[in-house]
Amino acid sequence: MNRNIVLFDMDGTLTEARKPFASFLSSPLKQLVSIADIGIVTGSDFNYVQEQMGSVLEDHSIRYSLHILPCNGTKYYKPPEFSAQGFELFEKVSMKEHLGSEKWRLLMETIIQAQSRTLDFDIPLTGHFIYNRESMINWSPAGRNATDKERSEFVRFDKKFKFRKIMLDDLRFKFSELNLNDVTIKLGGDTSFDIYPTGWDKTYSLRYFKDSNVWFVGDRARTPKGNDYEIYRECEPRSFHTTGPEQTKEIIETIIKRIKAEK
């Protein structure tokens, strides 16, 4: 019988956006790892997983069954095998090498030009707008140095004026014009965009679990503009859309019942 692994998005699923792990999920996850492995597949890099999910990474009843898949799974940290061992990088890929230096430079110039357009709007500008995560780029128009207040301010602005959706459509058209058709751009979290080679979405992580029954839980799954969409579709009927950690708790309980019923 194939083993089961349940993959979770992080922001909006196991945590509120850019917030620490929702501790009330600890007990359900401990019940889940008694019958399945679990994984965190996120657009964020490993340092953000450590920052937000630190209590889970250190929990000895969970960590030995926990796979960490940052940057949509283009980086893979296997579970440790003993208490003194940390999560060690097993595999990673390079977006710059994949695209080549000419396309890479063209892409970066295009993002910089897009960032300059934010000057026409009254939004926070906090710094660290473009984050090169090696296998993907995260572009945050307001900047990743934003405080909670500044993030909330941008989210309100974005909901009112649909700023990111407009920019998303504009950039997709620009990528097509520049023959960057092998680059994908998606909405990332509440404030940013994830940009990566086509095919390097979260389904990339599934290559590590070819002999498993893979379940998925994520919050940006129901529209192609969301970065959970492809893996949600790929894992059906073992995939779930969540509105946040509270609903994730209920979904975990449902998954436990379904796994037990399938045995």
Coil, strand or helix: which one is 85? coil
Report yes or no: 23 and 59 within 8 Å, Cβ to Cβ: no
Contact 69, 76 (CB under 8 A): yes
Known catalytic residue at 11: yes
- In this prediction, residue 255 carries a pLDDT of 98
Catalytic position from the list 11, 45, 190, 228: 11
Q: How confident is the model at residue 17 (pLDDT cuts 50, 70, 90)?
A: confident
The catalytic residue among 9, 158, 190, 194 is 9
Domains of the chain: 3-93+201-262 (3.40.50.1000), 95-197 (3.30.1240.20)
Active site (annotated) includes residue 201: no
- How far apart are alpha carbons 105 and 66 in whole angstroms? 36
Question: pLDDT band at 2, cuts 50/70/90?
Answer: confident
Q: What is the pLDDT of residues 119-164, one digit of tens each?
A: 989 899 999 999 999 999 999 999 999 999 999 999 999 999 999 9
Residue 189 is predicted with a pLDDT of: 82
User: What is the overall mean pLDDT for the chain?
Assistant: 95
Q: What is the pTM of this model?
A: 0.90
Report the share of the chain in percent with pLDDT over 90.
92
Residue linked to tokens 């975990």: 252
Q: What is the pLDDT of residue 1?
A: 57
CA distance 189 to 159: 13
DSSP string, 171-211: HHHHHHHTT-TTEEEEEETTTEEEEEETT-SGGGGGGGGTT
- Rounded CA-CA distance 73/37 in Å is 16
Q: What is the pLDDT of residue 220?
A: 92
Report whether pLDDT(206) > 60.
Answer: yes
Which residues, 6+ apart, have CB-to-CB distance to 32 below 8 Å? 6, 38, 252, 255, 256
The residue that leads in pLDDT, 1 or 54, is 54
Contact 45, 70 (CB under 8 A): yes
CB 121 within 8 A of CB 160: no
